[in-house]
Amino acid sequence: MLASIEDSASLLNNLVDELDRFYSSKLTDYEKRIELLKTENSEENPEVLYSMCSEWNYAICIYDEFFTETKEMLVPKVYSYAEKHLNEILSMLGYSRNVISKEYKNSNHSTQGISDIEKCCYILQNHFGLQQNLLDGYWPMFKDFHKLRKEIEHRYDHSYVTIDIKMIKRNLDYALQLLKHIELATREKMSDN
């Protein structure tokens, strides 16, 4: 299981890197073309030069928009990675998604606004002795990341936050560390029984 968790994180991390390189390369290339066009036509009237550069500026805007949308798409992918592996771990321990939700709701009277990841951690803390505040210890940005994921998926405004590659990779690493800890701790608990 640990290999699967690490392999999935590695694949996702490589995808993030490849997308970053692709878009950054295109944007840099277009900016260089504009500078070259300006240098080669420095004697041109400013309005004519602006018109000559406008297509490249438009291409930059399109690629910048695509890059922004791609980064937004990666936020739910990181979340789904963590959720999928947590559900797999709990499934091996005899907990289905429905059982997890039902047990959480019975103990807390509501599941509204609570992520599946939080419900999984609740089960792990209460039945397998993992430390309280598991998410806070391993994924300190989880609540903000979960909120951002919901806003992206429901197309709500999230302009208050800048989504960059560093933030995505940091949250992927938090998720990986959380999953590795849980996998090792539950494996130890299972072997003790």
pLDDT at position 192: 65
pLDDT digits (tens, 9 = 90+) for 112-163: 888 999 999 999 998 888 888 899 999 999 999 999 999 999 888 888 899 9
Considering just the CA atoms, what is the radius of gyration of the chain in Å? 23
Q: Tell me the pLDDT of the chain (193 aa) as tens digits.
A: 667 999 999 999 999 999 999 999 999 999 999 999 989 988 888 888 888 899 899 999 999 999 999 999 999 999 999 999 999 999 988 999 999 999 898 888 777 888 999 999 999 998 888 888 899 999 999 999 999 999 999 888 888 899 999 999 999 999 999 999 999 988 877 776 5
**CA 116 from chain center: how many Å?**
15
Q: Which amino acid is at 21?
A: R
Through-space distance between the first and last CA atoms of the chain, rounded to whole angstroms: 19
What is d(CA 191, CA 181) in angstroms, rounded to the nearest whole number?
A: 15
pLDDT at position 127: 86
pLDDT at position 179: 96
What is d(CA 39, CA 31) in angstroms, rounded to the nearest whole number?
A: 12
pLDDT at position 164: 95
Residue closest to 81 by CA, chosen among 174, 181, 187, 189 = 174
